[in-house]
Structure 1
């Protein structure tokens, strides 16, 4: 008994002593907006204690003996601060800190063990260094991600990443402020993700991760996920005017609605709008029109609760020249920027409402609740095969749908400390429901006459999920993340082309485990090993007729990587990765949709380097290699069409103290197979862009040049069998959309 009594008494004495120790509690704000800053690194110098600010900009250190302490605060693109605080026993010292924006200094960027699973230093650096000129540039912030536009700017971009031709989003999860962008069972293909409702000037940051390693991320998270965060507040109201070649005009305005009164209450509200018009560089005028309007409120509605309300609407209409077969251009029948069927085009719109609550309780639970709703409309006219099927009227098709999308995201998390060990437990629930009316695929003529309906019906698709995630920092160096996710799908299809009309449905569920390890040697070196299972769902119109088979094919991936700072002003992230898919998606040109295929595997290397050459000049380069192959097919016949094998992007960025800034950038994609036996090749390209800005307190003048060297290149390419009107037999070859030629634009931004 005495053996246990002494340790127990010592424990009580130590706990009693701990109870009388002091603590530090603080909140960090952005000085320009007075909005709390999340993920600010806060360190107690010399003690090895560090933490990050939470959703409300708060941090806390407990169990401190009475003494003077030095606190260091740092955040990318903000001026670091060092504070001295005197702590007394039985008292909590409260600190309010305002951080001011500053040029990026790579020497101040640390490789941290804090939230190692979530840190995205590359993205945070790039968003501050590179001027964003359009919505396409936002996606290119992800290292190794390429995009291609093949409908003149109105349709969602084709996406390439990690050996995937992702079409319009089949294997990458895209969100904006947590609201889903991908459309399941879309009229144009599974996972269709149109980001054109985002106004580039309102993007605050880009969070991303490659691979299926986050328990919070569900459907389409195989190659990775990307979340765009829009600004909670405007530093100043602004009006921006742009004009460029090819009858290109654009106007953007953002108005701060609360001003200083809002800042005093830690609240902000703004309204912004964008209008774009261009005839583009094609021989046939594009008559492209796009309108965006957004309103947002962010602020405290209770001492420990933030509310964010966002409403937006988007509309776009355009003509486009479609894809050109090589033989038509090479024979001189049409020009490089010409068209076989000039009647292609489309119209789309999306209206969004997004409500987000974040509460931090007195016991340090972080509770998040989000409710969202989108009303979406889409109509697209395309002609991929010209006169292959119908030699008289042509093969034009219409893809059309009307959709209501609504859902919920919620989570509760708590960080707990015991000595140098901390663990963050998160449990969450998600719900998404898509209801479409008259999802259609029809054979049409001249965008006005319907010849034959191929598909017509209503889709009712439900996805409910729960997940649990544990992030354990065992020591100052070693962190483990483990997660488990359960998804349930219910697919229902009402086919109007089968009589009598009946509703059929299919259900399925999938469990996705995750396990990740991080070892931080010091503030310059970290190793990580990610592993996990993800999935992409199949189109309701595919799985319901086949009795619910393979609704949720799985994907298994692993990354082994290093984050390294060999020099104070150099930052390197490198990884070797592997991904195995239970089911591949293949693009079908004549129908304009994607269909499920067999198993596949991919492996490759990613390398990202950031280097600050001088105080004002920054260099970056991203290199990605991949070896994508189909499984279960003969060697030499197992290539995955259009999957990229080697890509690289990079450039120089300038930030001068006198307000001059700019960038000179390149992107390169190597040749890649266009069919299964590599007998037809999609040619690679090298394109350079330039951006120059001159900023003063009340105005900003900018010059943007795309394709600086005026390279003639093919932005998107497909191996398609088609027949021209004067041909007796079809031909299988590359069909392409020409990339942007030299394209200069001037902009003027006024601040007030």
Structure 2
């Protein structure tokens, strides 16, 4: 049963009846470190040049138009949207169109966010259940160089930590296009520990001409932490509920012919309902770390990308349904020893996960009413992994890293088409290794190589007959291997600037590609990517700072296919982001963020390309006593670019039955102002 929004909004009132207390864990013997800004000096902590830590202060200071953009704190990451606000975002990084997260693994409080065998695509990653003000830090990695990183981690991953204490705050945000957001959060001492409670409600209609997006998003977080001896225990409850209408991508030809405004819609009954409820627990000490979780996830999504191509009478609207329970956990042990005169640090652990999917289905619909079943399945998917990572200090300057991992996965698929039911299983081993060398006091060099993987949809491993057409199909591999390498440098200068540069390489045995006219992704050919990434953080003086992040990538298929080229659809060759920040004592803060991504190919021959896109966002904040006033101006230059573009065939009434191949775009939302007033007590 879904929690009522009134209950979610009123839940934290009780916590404010008592004054906030200091976090009892802050004096923990394990030396808990709170990261406020971006942690740049990672000597002794990082094993590659392309990993980092982002703290809560930097998250709070940046303008964000939507929750998923929190991943843009990762250099080279781009977050967009091609549908309604309640749906998972589109992610781009290291030449990948990651779709909704297929090769970038995300974890919140130890819980995996990527969904296996999901109704809307493999690795579906919806971050809308996160309240950004409750994130303590983001630990991000690129490449498969850490042994504790498994499924979906070929391109990298991010781990979101949650706050153990938070300021008591009420905040109201109002903006154009009926944007409304209410946040209430606080913490207090409870028994021998600390309790954090927070609620968020958001409404938004958007700039669309033919629909009101009518976003109704509610979040709840309750988190209890306690120091038990030299260990920390945490218990976290999260609840998320959302409903929305969608303005999906529209064909360029209709806009050019002035049949449709770029903010118009060809199907006004699209949208979705989504919910996520979770309970997670963790315990960590200097030696032991375990976490466990239970997640209840539900999604109904109505889309129409081809309009009247397949069904000239009712249209091509379809519903994607996903209803599951997800549970699992991790146990690891950390220790030191001297081996042959060298200091050695070890981490060994086990991970397990179960996706109990009651319904994953695809249905033909009209105005959100089901007309027929394309395919309906239930899936029981299990996985287990063991991993071990060691670091060997050969000297004060040279450290070697070695990681080993083995993953095993099995699934039982029960399909409405008997021939597509069955069982499958697979296992895969991974080796990761690296060296870090302190060249000088300020320069640190890294060399890494690693194997990774992603899983394919379990339905693809048992399917032998295409739904609808009845065409014979060969099952796909369950686990798909990747391998990559990286050479990097970091420079640390505490007086003026810090920088990093990484040259990287990645091969995939099978690419997961987004299929625009089906709204999902499917396995494709083997691929190869390589590129360069660089980051520069420069302090002009004590008030002004500048950061620049640049990523260049070349992406190609390495297997030839008849009537196909070697360009990877949707691959992104260039990403540039820049930020200018002003901070004057505790009162004034100013932040400008510029994001640019270059032209990208939309077909395997590179004959169709999406236009480049540049957006500038700004935020100004003033603090006086307990009051805080801020203003965000999103898309400050009112760019007319697209958030996303695809190339495929669709049909508008009156066009040939075969349809027309064309670009389809979702426009970047126009310039909008949002004002936020907060009171802390």
Instruction: Calculate the TM-score normalised by the size of structure 1.
Output: 0.83
Determine if contact 2:498/2:536 at 8 Å carries over to the other structure: yes
1:243 is matched with which residue? 174
Cα offset, 1:129, TM superposition: 7.7
Once the two structures are superposed, residues 201-248 of structure 1 have per-residue CA deviations (whole angstroms, 9 ceiling, x without a partner) of 1111110111111100100011100111111111x2111100000011
Which residue of the other structure, out of 569, 572, 582, is the alignment partner of 2:499? 572
Mark the CA change 1:494 to 1:305 in structure 2 (over 3 Å): closer, same or farther.
Answer: same
Give runs of aligned pairs for residues 25-44 of structure 1, distance below 5 A.
33-36=23-26
Which residue does the alignment assign to 1:534? 452
| Cα deviation, residue 112, structure 1 | 2.1
Distance 1:404 1:567, change over 3 A: closer
1:693-740 Cα offsets, whole Å, 9 max, x none, are: 112341211101110001111001111210101212411111011111
**Residue aligning to 2:587:** 659
1:244-266, CA deviations, whole angstroms, 9 ceiling, x for partnerless residues? Answer: 000110000002132xx77xx5x
Q: Which structure is richer in relative contact order (CA contacts within 8 A, separation 6 or more)?
A: 2
> Is the contact between residue 172 and residue 183 of structure 2 (CA under 8 Å) also seen in structure 1?
yes
Aligned match of 1:27 = none
Query: Are 1:673 and 2:591 counterparts?
Result: no
Matches within 5 A, 1:350-429: 350-360=276-286, 366-416=287-337, 421-429=342-350
Query: What residue in structure 2 maps to residue 69 of structure 1?
Result: none
1:694 aligns with 2:622: yes
Structure 1 residues 144, 188: closer, same or farther in 2, change over 3 A? same
TM-score between both structures, scaled by the size of structure 2: 0.91
The number of residue pairs the alignment matches comes to 649
Q: Which residue of 1 aligns with 2:532?
A: 605
Determine if contact 1:326/1:735 at 8 Å carries over to the other structure. yes
Q: Does 1:57 align with 2:31?
A: yes
Deviation at 1:413, TM superposition (A): 0.6
Query: Is 1:545 paired with 2:457?
Result: no
Aligned residue in 2 for 1:3 = none
- Partner SS state of residue 133, structure 2: helix
Report the Cα distance in structure 1 between the residues aligned to 2:42 and 2:432, rounded to whole angstroms.
23
Is 1:288 aligned to residue 208 of structure 2?
no
C-alpha distance in 1 between matches for 2:184 and 2:338: 46
Distance verdict in 2 for CA 1:295–1:304, change over 3 Å: same
Residue 161 of structure 2 corresponds to which residue in structure 1? 229
Q: Structure 1 269/523 Cα, relative in aligned 2: closer, same or farther at 3 Å?
A: farther
Secondary structure of the 2:439 match is strand
Partner Cα distance (2:254, 2:46) in 1: 55
Deviation of the 1:33 alpha carbon: 3.5
Corresponding residue number in structure 1 for 2:442 = 524
Alignment pair present for 1:170 and 2:98: no
SS at match of 1:643: coil
In structure 2, runs of 5+ residues without a counterpart are 1-20, 465-473
**CA distance in 2 between partners of 1:451 and 1:129 (Å):** 46
1:454-465 equivalences in 2 (<5 Å)? 454-465=374-385
Report the CA distance shift for 1:181/1:125 in structure 2 as closer, same or farther (over 3 A): closer
Deviation at 1:594, TM superposition (A): 0.9
1:191 pairs with one of 107, 119, 123: 123
CA distance in 2, matches of 1:616, 1:153: 35
| 1:16-415 equivalences in 2 (<5 Å) | 33-36=23-26, 56-57=30-31, 77=36, 110=41, 112-114=43-45, 116=47, 120-121=51-52, 123-124=54-55, 127=58, 130-131=61-62, 133=64, 134-234=66-166, 236-258=167-189, 267-283=193-209, 284-300=211-227, 302-360=228-286, 366-415=287-336
Provide the rounded CA distance (Å) in 2 between the counterparts of 1:508 and 1:636: 30
How far apart, CA to CA, are the structure 1 residues paired with 2:306 and 2:75?
Answer: 34
Cα distance, 1:523 vs structure 2: 3.5
Pairing partner for 2:354 from 423, 430, 433: 433
Q: Flag the 1:168–1:193 CA change in 2: closer, same or farther, 3 A.
A: same
Partners of 1:717 and 1:119 lie apart in 2 by 28
Cα pair 1:685 1:714 within 8 Å, conserved? yes
1: distance between equivalents of 2:165 and 2:293? 20
- 1:247-295 deviation line (CA, Å, top 9, x unaligned): 110000002132xx77xx5x32111000000101111211111000010
> Is the CA contact 1:132–1:138 (under 8 Å) kept in the aligned structure 2?
no
- 3-state SS of paired residue (1:401): strand
Indicate the residue corresponding to 1:563 in structure 2.
490
Aligned to 1:480: 400
Deviations 1:90-135 (A, max 9, x none): xxxxxxxxxxxxx88x9xx645235556995563498368435441
Greater shift, 456-465 or 627-636, is seen at 627-636
SS of 1:541's equivalent in the other structure is helix
Distance 1:118 1:237 in 2: 37
Alpha-carbon deviation of 1:382?
Answer: 0.3
Q: Which residue matches 1:512?
A: 430
Which moves more between the two structures, 621-630 or 585-594? 585-594
Q: Which has the larger radius of gyration?
A: 1
Deviation (angstroms), 1:420: 8.9
Quick check: 1:572–1:610 contact (8 Å CA) kept in 2?
yes
Gap change, CA 1:381 and 1:113, over 3 Å in 2: same
Distance in 1 separating the partners of 2:350 and 2:84:
39
SS of 1:329's partner is helix
Alignment pair present for 1:491 and 2:420: no
| 1:512 alignment partner, SS class | strand
